[in-house]
Amino acid sequence: MTTCCIVPSHQKGALSVPKSTSPLAPLKHDTFRLIWFASIISNFGGLVQSVGAAWMMTSISNSSDMVALVQASTSAPIMLFSLVSGALADSFDRRRLMMVAQIFMLIVSVLLTICTYLGFVTPWLLLTFTFLIGCGTALNNPAWQASVGDMVPREHLPSAVALNSVGFNMTRSIGPAIGGAIVAAAGAAAAFAVNSLSYFALLFALHRWKRPPVDAVLPRESLGRAIGAGLRYVAMSPNILKVLLRGFVFGLAASAVLALLPLVARDLVAGGPLTYGLLLGAFGLGAIGGALISARLRERLTGENIVRLAFLGFAVSSALTGWSGTTLITCLALLGAGAGWVLALSLFNTTVQLSTPRWVVARALSLYQTTTFGGIAAGSWFWGVAAEQYGADMALYASAALMLVGAFLGLFFALPEFEALNLDPLNSFTEPMLKLDLTPRSGPIVVLIDYEIDEADVPAFLAIMGERRRVRIRDGAGQWALMRDLENPRVWTETYHVPTWVDYVRHNQRRTQDDKSIHEQLHALHRGEGTPRVHRMIERQTILPHPYEQFRRQMDIPH
């Protein structure tokens, strides 16, 4: 299981990121502490398994792209299924969802161990098993990352980011080396057995976590609507879209180092499985360093500058890895790659969570994972094919060039800085007293809001309405329009549709404290008596008779 770069999303008050706090502060919280230690054990097993799978593929296949596909087979399910997992995590009990994912991965790992021990594993069967483990990771990660915000308060966010990165990369720094030793001494089956045992620690920690039940005020959305709501929210959130683009490019370029590392160990530095483990350990040690200096960097640099630094540092490291012919120089190069990996991905993750309210945080994180791991999966395949055709060194040079492109994109798609973003629910909506007897599924509902605006205020009104449109659609409205009365030009009417009455209530409950300023600015421009008038209507259409029925009536033809 991989739980790198987990960022809590507990949001209380303004979302300006605290500049510094004790790196051990999150460990004061019992649930976080227990799951953090259990995750270290689980991550250790996962890294031992990845070493066993990667090196086993080099033993049973001479194809470079098959070796690279080991990483791709683990990353591809995260790209394919994370959005569904995010919708499930926002709709169901996250703790139970994580337990299901862990049990599934445990079963798959045990079967992989048995098949390997009996000598049944072929290259494609190995990829099938790693793909299934990736499916379990895809189910687990959105629920896990969204749950950390329930374990620690928001003020510990920087420390939680660093601590989770340190925990994961502690295992990365020693796990692969130990995994390489296990493979060299006892074979891949032993590595897979170690991974199977590692799941029990996290299952125990999840069993001990007594997550308080959440009272559902509204009925649960269907899976299709939940996925659509997540896609719509992200599509109408410019800050998240920037992260998705930069994350995809980073994953696409950075995947070359990890995907080709078995070939680097075997061909460029002429080593064996123990050398491969040492190289992965150097990458993990660099990642720990990156996590430890992240707080200091945040005090001195903007988030965008940190990301550019990560891109540039990884580019240099990738080029040095391709150039080097010795284990020592390659290990030194991988220290920089590991630091860049953590600095970029942890900041991307933080940006997504600070840009997203709690009701949709798992879906936003899943889309971030989809694009980032999609880049990793596509890159793993692409760099494997490139290495097959031109050699691992040339593929690493090309990935370094792509990293430079990713840094350059920051000039046009810079990550935002968070100063006063408050995504707590506004909680100002009260259901109106209705004269019609509606059910939650009654609809479609049409809403019209009348404003009286002075001619001098029209430009300001239209500018604010542009932002109002984005927020309305983001939160679930459809067919949004703004109309002006031809007979009374002072009157403007905003209108939008929602499918049912319960969707209308849900739409209003999704408004955040940060959206309140739009509401206040519109009310300040309104020149009518009182507040803008709201009309809530249910749409009804008359159905015309069938054309033959109309003809029969006109001609007075009997039945």
Q: What is the pLDDT of residues 385-408, one digit of tens each?
A: 899 899 999 999 999 999 999 999
Nearest to 447 by CA among 432, 461, 457: 432
User: Is residue 468 packed enough to be buried (19+ CB in 10 Å), middle (13-18) or exposed (0-12)?
Assistant: buried
Give pLDDT tens digits for 13-70.
334 444 445 667 788 888 888 988 998 898 889 888 888 888 888 888 877 778 778 8
More confident residue, 455 or 325: 455
User: Is residue 432 packed enough to be buried (19+ CB in 10 Å), middle (13-18) or exposed (0-12)?
Assistant: exposed
Pure H helices in 301-422: 303-323, 327-354, 361-390, 392-409
Dihedral sign computed on CA atoms, order 353, 356, 358, 361: negative
Q: Which helix (H) or strand (E) holds 480?
A: strand 478-484
**pLDDT, position 215:** 64
**pLDDT, position 22:** 61
Q: In the predicted model, is pLDDT for residue 1 greater than 60?
A: no
Tell me how crowded residue 330 is: count the other CB atoms within 10 A of its CB. 25
More confident residue, 429 or 403: 403
Mean pLDDT, the chain, whole residue set: 85
Q: What is the CA radius of gyration of the chain?
A: 27
Q: What is the mean pLDDT of residues 96-124?
A: 93
Task: Quickly state the pLDDT bin for 158 (edges 50, 70, 90).
Answer: low
Give pLDDT tens digits for 342-364.
889 888 887 887 788 888 988 99
Q: In this structure, which amino acid lies at residue 168?
A: F
Q: What is the mean pLDDT of residues 87-99?
A: 90
Q: How far apart are CA 323 and CA 320, in angstroms?
A: 5
- Residue 19: CB partners within 8 Å, gap ≥ 6? 158, 295, 298, 299
Beta bridge partners of 461: none
State the angle between helix axes of 64-91 and 238-263 in degrees (0 to 180), rounded to the nearest 10. Answer: 150
Q: In the predicted model, is pLDDT for residue 513 greater than 80?
A: yes
**pLDDT, position 554:** 54
Q: How far apart are CA 149 and CA 101, in angstroms?
A: 20
Report field, pTM of the whole predicted structure over 0.75: yes
Q: What is the mean pLDDT of residues 151-166?
A: 69
**pLDDT, position 543:** 65
Tell whether omega for the bond before 558 is within 30 degrees of 0, i.e. cis. Answer: no
Task: Quickly state the pLDDT bin for 546 (edges 50, 70, 90).
Answer: low
3-class secondary-structure state, position 490: coil
Secondary structure of the chain: what % helix, strand, coil (to 5)?
Answer: 70, 5, 25
3-class secondary-structure state, position 383: helix
Task: Extract the tokens encoding 209.
Answer: 């976590």
